[in-house]
Amino acid sequence: MSSALERKRQVGFFTDTTVCIGCKACEVACKQWNQLPDDGFVFTGMSYDNTAHLGSSTWRHVGFVERQRPLQSQTTGLGAFSWIFHSDVCKHCQEAGCLENCPTGALIRTEFDTVYVQPDVCNGCGYCVVGCPFGVIDRREDDGRAWKCTLCYDRLKADMEPACAKACPTDSIVFGDLATLEARAEARLKSLHADGVSEARLYGRDLDGVGGTNAFFLLVDEPEVYNLPPDPVVPQRTQGESWRMVGVGALAMAALALGAVLSARGRR
């Protein structure tokens, strides 16, 4: 990444939830490197989870998902309790609703093909917040500006690995070129299927509603279990249909109004 030409490559994250141990080292490293404020030290009601979700001060969030699943054995009839962990992050979408909604140019696509918020340009309007189908980007209460994962843009420019991936002790979070990450993810998926983990699946790169993502995940359950939308779509894709429905509604109202006028004249 030392030359300008090399810095034009596509990079991102591949997060393998099957080897995540829920240690939250990625959360801590992210907060430490980016000097993010704490999350209030409040009781969240979530088991072992003090952050609860992604937000303006939490750019990496490890979710603890409790599952009650039937046992393979038919002798007991009892359910099997299990944990699955998921380190979530901004997806750095190819069609980024936050970027397309921004009226000031605060959100840009970097030379690494990632989506970055320029805090000195953000005016706190919040249009980016409603533009994200994943609910990632958020405004901070103290200054109203929007914040999210930068994929450690400053570290990338210094030829350094993002802090979360650097800190992960199990290589659950892997950073690199997208083509390399995709090959690694496909190999891992094939291996899990060969081992009988038929429910394993990849999530992110094939999401047409956002044009694919630069941060994708290997899951062992439905996306909803991990609090991920199964079919996210950027709002811009639905605007045409929305305006068409507005037009239909306006015509219907006009027709009703005309009918009322004609009916009133007929009674006279």
The pLDDT value given to residue 181: 98
φ, ψ of residue 60 to 5 degrees: the values are -125, 130
The pLDDT value given to residue 70: 56
Q: How far apart are CA 168 and CA 29, in angstroms?
A: 9
User: Quick one: 180 and 264 in the same domain?
Assistant: no
Give the count of domains, the chain: 2
Q: What is the pLDDT along the chain (268 residues), one digit of tens a residue?
A: 444 444 478 999 999 999 999 999 999 999 999 999 987 677 766 667 778 889 999 999 999 988 876 545 445 555 677 889 999 999 999 999 999 999 999 999 999 999 999 999 999 999 999 999 999 999 998 889 999 999 999 999 999 999 999 999 999 999 999 999 999 999 999 999 999 999 999 999 999 999 999 999 999 999 999 999 999 999 976 655 544 555 556 666 766 766 666 666 666 5
Q: Which residues of 105-118 are buried (b: 16+ CB within 10 A; e: fewer)?
A: ebbeebbbbbbbbe
φ, ψ of residue 13 to 5 degrees: the values are -120, 140
User: Quick one: 189 and 155 in the same domain?
Assistant: yes
Q: Which residue has 């659950």 as its token pair?
A: 172
The pLDDT value given to residue 256: 72
Q: Which of 179, 217, 206 is nearest to 10 (CA)?
A: 179
Q: How far is residue 43 from each of residues 53, 72, 80, 125, 205, measured CA to CA in Å?
A: 13, 36, 27, 30, 35
* Residue 1: inside a domain: no
User: Quick one: 251 and 188 in the same domain?
Assistant: no
The pLDDT value given to residue 39: 78
Q: Which element (helix H / strand E) includes 128?
A: helix 127-131
The pLDDT value given to residue 138: 96
User: Quick one: 244 and 144 in the same domain?
Assistant: no
User: Quick one: 193 and 255 in the same domain?
Assistant: no
The pLDDT value given to residue 14: 98
The pLDDT value given to residue 136: 96
User: Quick one: 222 and 246 in the same domain?
Assistant: no
User: Quick one: 14 and 124 in the same domain?
Assistant: yes
The pLDDT value given to residue 140: 93
* Residue 260: inside a domain: yes
Q: Which residue has 């699946």 as its token pair?
A: 201
Q: How far apart are CA 195 and CA 133, in angstroms?
A: 34
Q: Which residue has 């699943």 as its token pair?
A: 69
CATH code of the domain containing 181? 3.30.70.20
Q: What is the DSSP letter of 254?
A: H
The pLDDT value given to residue 261: 62
> What is the domain extent for residue 28?
6-233
Q: Which element (helix H / strand E) includes 167?
A: helix 163-167
The pLDDT value given to residue 260: 65
* Residue 124: inside a domain: yes
